[in-house]
Amino acid sequence: MSAPAPSVQLAELRRMREAGEKIACLTCYDASFALLEDRAGVDLVLIGDSLGMVIHGGTMTTPVTVEHIVYHSRCVAPHLKRAFLVADLPFLSFATRERALDAAQRVMQQGGAKMVKLEGGREQADIVEYLAVRGVPVCAHLGLQPQLIHKMGAFKVQGRDEAAAEAMLHDAQVLQDAGADLLLLECIPAALGRRIAERSRVPVIGIGAGPDVDGQILVLHDMLGISPLVTLGRKPRFVKNFMEGAPDIESAIRAYVQAVKRKAYPAAEHCFETQTAPALAGVKTEAKASAAVQGRARLPASDS
């Protein structure tokens, strides 16, 4: 019998980036799926605040608390033999340095996470640095930030014009300089995903950020085709339902991992483009995103 694969650490994620091996990531919220994901070869598991939507049935992530993240981390962590566990810091839990440190301490010590993820650009650099110098590995989440729903009013693709793209490139550098060990890019044009990954010194994981980043992540219930968003017929453009053609859930997760590793997912149909006709595309995007937010606070399939 072969020896069990060693657990994935940050150094392994960095090695994979250097070697050009894609990193397969997935959200997870409970023990049963943790076992399946780990066995299927998922490299990084995220306790995402998307649990507020796919587990709790809400329309946004803002009601999720540190207690929720710790609870679900505790369900998942003991069942991961190999995958690297990351936990979200929920809305306002990192609003001050002290709160961020307290939240990170709880999700790492009580939940078993090895890294925290927090949404925001350069305005979070101070918090990222405060955590990083205290030994907390941080993943910085750029692009679409679902926790900003009440400020944005609607969810839409980010970084589509050159000014916004430049701002995001700058954010990515500032956050790395502050100590971020990983970047996550959500819903941005594939060309911008590539530019950020090319200039990055740390692994870059994308969700709706095109194929030219170091790894991919999806919400588990989306890629199994069972999230309310998908069953209500509003599958985001970047989501592929891996249950289609799979005999069981574990096979679907394996198919996802293999598709990421082989660079077969995401395909062109899952990617967003840079805005070429600003006026027209802007109107279309706004209208569709606003319609979507009335139902659910995540990006609809049609927002392309």
- Which residues are tagged catalytic? 186
Among 12, 37, 43, 88, binds ligand KIV (CB under 6 A): 88
Least distance to ligand KIV from the beta carbon of 14, Å? 20
Nearest partner of 115 among 142, 88, 97, 96, judged by Cα = 88
Q: Which residue is closest to ligand KIV by CB?
A: 48
- C-alpha pair distances (Å), 27 with each of 43, 64, 87, 96: 11, 15, 10, 26
Pairing of strands 115-119, 84-88: parallel
Per CB under 6 A, contacts with ligand KIV among 224-253 are none
Binding to ligand KIV by CB under 6 A, coded x per residue (else -) over 43-62, reads ---x-xxx------------
- Residue 91 or 130: the one with the smaller Cβ distance to ligand KIV is 91
- Residue 52 or 179: the one with the smaller Cβ distance to ligand KIV is 52
Q: How many positions of this chain bind ligand KIV (CB under 6 A)?
A: 11
Contacts for 151 with CB less than 8 Å, ≥ 6 apart: none
Least distance to ligand KIV from the beta carbon of 16, Å? 18
Binding to ligand KIV by CB under 6 A, coded x per residue (else -) over 98-127, reads ------------------------------
- Residue 184 or 196: the one with the smaller Cβ distance to ligand KIV is 184
Phi-psi sector, 175: left (phi>0), alpha (psi -120 to 50), beta: alpha
- C-alpha pair distances (Å), 3 with each of 45, 63, 77: 22, 42, 21
Q: What angle do CA 50, 184, 211 make, to 5 degrees?
A: 105
Nearest partner of 303 among 156, 165, 161, judged by Cα = 156
- C-beta separation of 88 from 69 below 8 A: yes
**Does position 183 bind ligand KIV by CB under 6 A?**
no
Among 37, 43, 171, 186, binds ligand KIV (CB under 6 A): 186
- C-beta separation of 56 from 75 below 8 A: no
- Residue 27 or 73: the one with the smaller Cβ distance to ligand KIV is 27
Per CB under 6 A, contacts with ligand KIV among 13-42 are 27
Least distance to ligand KIV from the beta carbon of 31, Å? 18
- Residue 117 or 288: the one with the smaller Cβ distance to ligand KIV is 117
Least distance to ligand KIV from the beta carbon of 52, Å? 8
Least distance to ligand KIV from the beta carbon of 4, Å? 27
Q: What is the DSSP letter of 110?
A: I
Least distance to ligand KIV from the beta carbon of 257, Å? 16
- Residue 57 or 245: the one with the smaller Cβ distance to ligand KIV is 57
* Structural element, H or E, at residue 125: helix 125-132
Per CB under 6 A, contacts with ligand KIV among 200-219 are 207, 217, 219
Q: What is the Cα–Cα distance from 172 to 184, expressed in whole angstroms?
A: 10
Q: What is the Cα–Cα distance from 239 to 267, expressed in whole angstroms?
A: 10
- C-beta separation of 122 from 277 below 8 A: no
Give contact residues for ligand KIV (rule: CB under 6 A).
27, 46, 48-50, 88, 184, 186, 207, 217, 219
